[in-house]
Structure 1
């Protein structure tokens, strides 16, 4: 996962949006719980935001240069698939 170390070169902000209690958001919550420390250690200046909102569909947002943002839905994905989505967003920047 060498791409994680260079995440802050292509992405200016990462934002996770999910529900605190819904089963659909469980993989996103677990992904953040397991990977937050590793991502922040590798990219200490990268804003990594977690937003919780009751009843919302889990989403991952990436902000790039010039305010460009991309969003992917995380509904129905496993933790491994969420990791792949984050990698794809990092490479898209």
Structure 2
């Protein structure tokens, strides 16, 4: 999982949107609880924002250079699928570098 240390090289910001109580956000909440510390330790200067809002669909957003953003809906994904979606967003940032 060497890609986890590449977040700060390929992304300018990472946002996770979740509902605090909905079953649809349960896997995304579990992913944040299990992985936030590790991701932040490997990428201490990268803003990793957790945005909680009642009734919101769970989403993962990456902001790259030049204000380019890409998002992924997390509804129905398990933790390993969420991890894969994050990895794909990180790898997508490699091609967007100036």
TM-score higher than 0.5 here? yes
- TM-score, length basis structure 1: 0.99
Counterpart-to-counterpart distance in 1, 2:7 and 2:64: 11
Counterpart-to-counterpart distance in 1, 2:40 and 2:19: 22
- TM-score, length basis structure 2: 0.94
Shift of 1:23: 0.4
Counterpart-to-counterpart distance in 2, 1:6 and 1:62: 13
Counterpart-to-counterpart distance in 1, 2:15 and 2:22: 18
Query: What is the root-mean-square deviation of aligned Cα atoms in Å?
Result: 0.4
Question: In the alignment, what sits opposite 2:96?
Answer: none
Q: SS where residue 14 of structure 1 aligns?
A: strand
Aligned length: 93
Q: SS where residue 50 of structure 2 aligns?
A: strand
Question: In the alignment, what sits opposite 2:58?
Answer: 58
Counterpart-to-counterpart distance in 1, 2:66 and 2:17: 22
Question: In the alignment, what sits opposite 1:44?
Answer: 44
Question: In the alignment, what sits opposite 1:14?
Answer: 14
- In the alignment, structure 1 segments of 5+ residues that lack a partner are none
